[in-house]
Amino acid sequence: MTPDPRLGTRAVRRVIYSQPDIECRVEELGREITTAYPDGDLVLIGLLKGSVFFLTDLARHIRRPLQIDFLVAHSYGKGKVSSGEVRVRYEPSISLAGRHILVVEDIIDSGRTLGFLLDRLRSAGPKSLAVCALLDKRLGAPPPELRFVGFAAPPVFLVGYGLDHAEDFRHLPYIAEVD
Ligand code: IMP
Ligand code: MG
């Protein structure tokens, strides 16, 4: 691999999804979502920080009126193993009652974070509630709300395109495996 100046002294093992792979799949997902919501108004809820690149790219491929808000929750800390504890730091400020909510998530691992947040969003009384995840490691049973998946990911630790390890690597335009 030619050295990437974005990495500095850090290293990745190998690229799993290249920038063109991601661009192509995100465009397709945008088309799938456009078709799936014929009656229009959508609220995209991005789970920060991991979904930020995915959400902004995806939103521009959805040919419907939509609004964007965010949820900030933490389950991982600095390690690579899910702690199981979820803490919410910011909740959507726009009204969700009676709206089509589409949660935009970077990666589903155990699914614990998502399960917890879906319970919370369900209590806001949306018209519909669905999830679009860029990557699905399929470790646990997927929630019934998981309607759109970019890639079925291998069970390795991935960074880039929003995904971090201890806050590094988020800005890589590709997704790579780290040691
Ligand atoms: P879960 O609750 O176990 O499903 O964990 C989901 C969250 O853990 C994701 O939203 C990510 O923030 C983080 N995560 C899980 N797997 C990875 C990975 O391979 N790379 C980076 N972050 C990950
Ligand atoms: Mg996340």
> Is position 109 annotated as part of the catalytic site?
yes
Q: Which residue in 134, 155, 158 sits closest to 26, CA to CA?
A: 134
| Domain locations in the chain as residue ranges | 25-75+87-154
Sheet holding 175-177, edge to edge: 14-17, 175-177, 158-159
Query: 44: buried, middle or exposed (CB in 10 Å: 19+, 13-18, 0-12)?
Result: buried
Task: Give per-10-residue mean pLDDT for the chain (179 aa).
Answer: 87 97 98 90 94 98 96 70 75 92 94 88 95 90 92 96 97 96
Q: From CA 17, how far away is CA 151, in angstroms rounded?
A: 9
Instruction: Considering the candidates 106, 109, 136, 164, report the single residue annotated as catalytic.
Output: 109
Q: Which helix (H) or strand (E) holds 167?
A: none
Q: What is the pLDDT of residue 82?
A: 60
Q: Is the CB of 116 under 6 A from ligand 1?
A: no
pTM above 0.85, yes or no: yes
The CATH number for 25-75+87-154, chosen from 2.40.30.60, 3.40.1160.10, 3.40.50.2020, 3.40.50.1100, is 3.40.50.2020
